[in-house]
Structure formats: C-alpha cells, structure tokens
Structure 1
Amino acid sequence: MMKVEICEHCAGEEMEEVIQGFKDFEEALKEKSMTLNVEKTGCLGSCQGPVVRVNGKVYTEVHPNEVEGIVSEVLKQG
C-alpha cells in the first residue's frame, strides 16, 4: 500500500495538482499489487509546503513534477 498524506495548511495552490499527480499512478500501482490511499491531513510539522508524507517518509516543497520520482522511489523499496 502507498499511503500519501498531504498537509492542508501549507500545501498552497499546488495541493490539488499534487494529489492528482499521485492518483495518476493508481493503475500503475495496481499492476504492482499496491493500493493507493491519498488523504489531506493536518500539520505534518515541517511547514515547508507543500509537505507530503508517503508511507511515513516526509517530503517537503513537493511540486507536481516531483510526484513521479516519489512514486518510483517507493516502488523500488517494494
């Protein structure tokens, strides 16, 4: 499972694009027998938004063009 949490407070205007970026990989994840759970959350404590926590790892200043790299990193970790 890939659990994606996005801080609502510091995400800024790109939050919806980042969310959609992760959702765009839902089919590819299914092919790897992984489910995707994307949710908006409260403060993640970094305040360098957009802040995203994926399977417990925090990423700061995430922009839509970085989502693919994050997904690839998670897939490599298995």
Structure 2
Amino acid sequence: MGLADMDLPGPPAVAEALERRARHRAYGYTVCDPAGRALVADWYRARHGVEVDPDWVLLLPCGPRTTLRVLLETIRPEAAGHEPGRP
C-alpha cells in the first residue's frame, strides 16, 4: 500500500473490510473484479475530465512497485530501472 502515517488510525470501513477478508480464511491469489475497470475510468473522467475506455484499464493484483516494474519491463524491456524506495 505504500507509505503511510502510522500515527493516525485508518478508516473504520477499511478495518471492517480487512476483518471480513481475514475471516474468509482462503488466502489465495487476488482476483481483480472486472467492474473495477469501469470505476477507474469513471474516476479519471470525474477527476481529470479524461475519457478512458474501461477496456484500456489493466488491473494487477499487486502493489505500485510491482506494477511499475511489470509495466516498465513490458513496454521497454531494454530499459533498466531500480526498485522505488523510501527517501
């Protein structure tokens, strides 16, 4: 999830969602809900006024560092990059 301010409590809805997921007890690979692609497209429209086709949205079951590495290696396999880290 990246950097966070650990001195502040998280939103109750997040804690409740984590508790529900923990009770599921099957901790296999994450499956990305295809409906999430439309939500991402809607967010770009509302936030930036940009129309994004939901079919262009790629949901990856990983964090931002892994996503960046996958995209970099896919788009520019000859490019070298380092693992992003904290300053």
Question: TM-score if structure 1 supplies the norm length?
Answer: 0.26
Looking at secondary structure, tell me which structure has more strand per residue: 1
Looking at secondary structure, tell me which structure has more helix per residue: 2
Q: With a CA cutoff of 8 Å and minimum separation of 6, indicate the structure with the bigger relative contact order.
A: 1
